[in-house]
Amino acid sequence: MKNSILLIALSLTASVMTAQQNQVETDSTKTQTLDEVLVQSVRVKPNAPITHSNVTNAQLEPRNLGQDLPILLNYLPSVVTTSDAGAGIGYTGIRVRGVSPLSTNITINGIPYTDAESLGTFWVNLPDFSSSVESLQLQRGVGTSTNGSGAFGASINILTDASSDKSSAEISSAFGSYNTRKHTVKFSTGKLNDFFEVAGRLSQIKSDGYVDRAFSDLKSYFLQGTYNKNGTLIKALAFGGHERTYQSWFGLTQDELDQNRRQNPYTYENEIDNYKQDHYQLHWNQKIDQNWSTNIGLNYTYGRGYFEQFRSDDDVITYGGIVEATAVDFYGTAVTDLIRRRWLDNDYYVVNATAHYRDSEIDLTFGGSYSTYDGDHFGEVIWAKQFADNASIRDRYYFGNGKKTDLSAFVKTTYSLNSKIDIFGDLQLRSVGYKTTGITSDLVNMLIDETYNFFNPKVGVTFQLASHSNIYASYARANREPSRSDFESNPNIKAEQLNDFEIGWRYNKGALLLNINSYYMQYNEQLVLTGALDDVGSPVRKNSGDSYRLGLEVEAVYAFSEKFKVQPNITLSSNKNKQTFSQVDGVLKNLGSTNISFSPDIVASNMIVYSPLDSLSLNLLTKYVGDQYMGNTDTEASKLESYLVNDFNISYQWNPKSVFSSVVVSALINNIFNEEYVSNGYYYTYDDDWSVPGQVTTIEGAGYYPQATRNFLVGVTFKF
């Protein structure tokens, strides 16, 4: 009964966000900004047989009050987001169709942003990046060929700020719950001498976090210079961020959650993550004639930083003779108290090159990408009760290095067979080399030397039923290599493969827009989340043999009038491991078909948008996520309960006649009904073989990341 009421409420609360997105898609067939050539090789056109959503800066702006980009995308179809600190600032994550962030491909201006070695995407390293996003496209499923690691659930390709003809400036500030504040300054010189522009941004975000002491202290910058003359576009960019966040990745047990859902088990005052990342990009697009154009992109990324931990009664053996024991624990192990830092120091180079040809029948793009990554991993002890005689502060107790190369080449084309049928083809070859040396933080030798050669074909067809309606079908294959942490947990880990089948129908006429898409994602050795975390909070994955995701995605928009529009979207899915084996009470058991972890069967998102005035917009946003399991054994201990959350967003724009070109006031009330919910967690098991002699008992445990109850953000932007 409860779920029925929730679904009825959900169906009555709808949104216009996707309506705006699809309108953007329709309009994009008429015009294309010059900057969009930087991402044309990784994006698809509106009628392509690829399931996707487009988002513009104008759609992000009313809610861009300090929360990370994944949180702003929370209302797109099949999307589930979470926040370690609970309020959407700091470490945040996004899952699409239940697929982990480790299997999502992210590019910025066509350059891979997903970390080459960990395969993670750390949005916290680019705070307030939403303020420099011109547009983005989220492709669900395999999508089209992209640069970097393959997409297994989604790809998000971002285009940064477009060049501007006119000079401008803006100052914005936002304040809210948990002592949150955001300050941003942006400027553009406009075109100088009709062909050159300089633009930039500085931002600072601070928040105490919903979880106790889970503060975020974030700084970022963005600077670009653009040259545009006689068919030549050159863009040079430098952007980056510095994040300091207090650790909150350990979550809470059920008892701790019941006692005080805002508590944090960490107590050491400097238990922080401290990381800097700088990106430098150079893009050169050359229009040769009416049919041909070329593009070259260069990138260098430098990342460095550490997280600091206090360790009480830690095993001295872990530190390779750097520290002396000061006590003996219950088991007779030599231990001591200490403070350590575990470092990452990495360099990442990328070169992309593409050529594009288009006439009345053929749209052809071909090119390639090469990247090389070199990352050091090391740990140092910065304080101990007693150092060894031959050791001192900051001595390293482990050091390892990972080197990765990634070479890919692709050709993709859309051929208009006639006025009704478009055929899409996409072929990609990708070769990945990964080599490690040194030891891990557990003082274990890590010597990996693997090469992967992948062939990723894609084909699809779009049939135009009428001017306002088309159907499409596609098949795509993707292959993806394991991450460093995958190798650490299992040196024999296998690459994963996906065959993705999609069929859809698009309808857009009058006041109604409707998109219906069905998918069948067939996996071989999918790397599924086990639910467990390693000792640095990274999720542990394992190969699951044969598995699949079968789903139906529906999104609809209906405009009752120019002032009132509604839109629901919903994803219904079945996500299964075909056969699961698990050690239970010392016996290996075949559990048969089980649910894939972190894959709810139902995800729905809605908004209502009411605009009584052209300058005023009122939005009610609703999100429902069904039950999901944090492990792959369907045990009740690993279950996350469903939740329904509502946000309210208001935006007002005033256009004064002098000083400012506009003043925009925005407010966001998150979780207006004050729901206490959990969007993410972890699950683990271990064997107890000593409580009862001769008997092995499997013990289960779980941790939970509580999300914020009712909270608010309010901001104002002055544009000159």
Domain residues for the domain of 576 are 2-32+192-654+680-701
Mean pLDDT of the chain: 91
Has residue 109 got a pLDDT over 50?
A: yes
- pLDDT at position 18, please? 37
In a domain, 112, yes or no: no
Count the Cβ atoms, other than its own, within 10 Å of residue 560: 10
In a domain, 661, yes or no: no
Residue of 85, 201, 182, 209 lying closest to 133 (CA atoms): 201
pTM: 0.91
Which of 20-29, 638-647, 684-693 holds the top average pLDDT?
638-647
In a domain, 136, yes or no: no
Q: pLDDT tier at 372 (50, 70, 90 boundaries)?
A: very high
DSSP 140-204: ESS-S--SSSPPSSEEEEEEE----SS-EEEEEEEEETTTEEEEEEEEE---BTTTEEEEEEEEE
d(CA 577, CA 575): 7
In a domain, 90, yes or no: no
Buried b (16+ CB within 10 A) or exposed e, 143-153: bbbbbbbbbbb
Q: Mean pLDDT over residues 103-131, rounded? A: 93
In a domain, 377, yes or no: yes
The residues, ordered by sequence, that sit 6+ positions from 693 with a Cβ below 8 Å of its Cβ are none
In a domain, 434, yes or no: yes
The residues, ordered by sequence, that sit 6+ positions from 331 with a Cβ below 8 Å of its Cβ are none
Buried b (16+ CB within 10 A) or exposed e, 197-220: bebbbebbbbbbbbbbbbbbbbbb
629-654 per-position pLDDT tens digit: 999 999 999 999 999 999 999 999 99
d(CA 148, CA 104): 10
* 117 φψ region: left (φ > 0), alpha (ψ -120 to 50), beta (else): alpha
In a domain, 248, yes or no: yes
Q: pLDDT tier at 583 (50, 70, 90 boundaries)?
A: confident
In a domain, 456, yes or no: yes
Residue 255: φ, ψ to 5°: -65, -45
Q: Which two tokens stand for residue 113?
A: 């942003």
Per the CB < 8 A criterion, the answer to whether 386 and 336 are in contact is yes
Q: Which two tokens stand for residue 676?
A: 């206490």
The residues, ordered by sequence, that sit 6+ positions from 417 with a Cβ below 8 Å of its Cβ are 423
Residue whose pair of structure tokens reads 């790397």 in the numeric block:
527
Has residue 24 got a pLDDT over 80?
A: no
Domain containing 481 — which CATH number? Answer: 2.40.170.20
Domain count, the chain: 1
Residue of 160, 150, 146 lying closest to 200 (CA atoms): 160
Distance of CA 405 to the CA centre of its chain: 22
The residue type found at 264 is: N
Has residue 190 got a pLDDT over 70?
A: yes
Task: Give me the residues paired with residue 260 across strands.
Answer: none
Q: pLDDT tier at 389 (50, 70, 90 boundaries)?
A: confident
Entry field: residues in the chain: 720
Rounding to the nearest 10 degrees, give the CA dihedral for residues 679, 539, 598, 245: 20
Q: Which two tokens stand for residue 104?
A: 């999502």
Taking CA atoms, 606 is separated from 487, 568, 579, 627, 650, in Å, by 40, 5, 35, 18, 16
The residue type found at 412 is: K
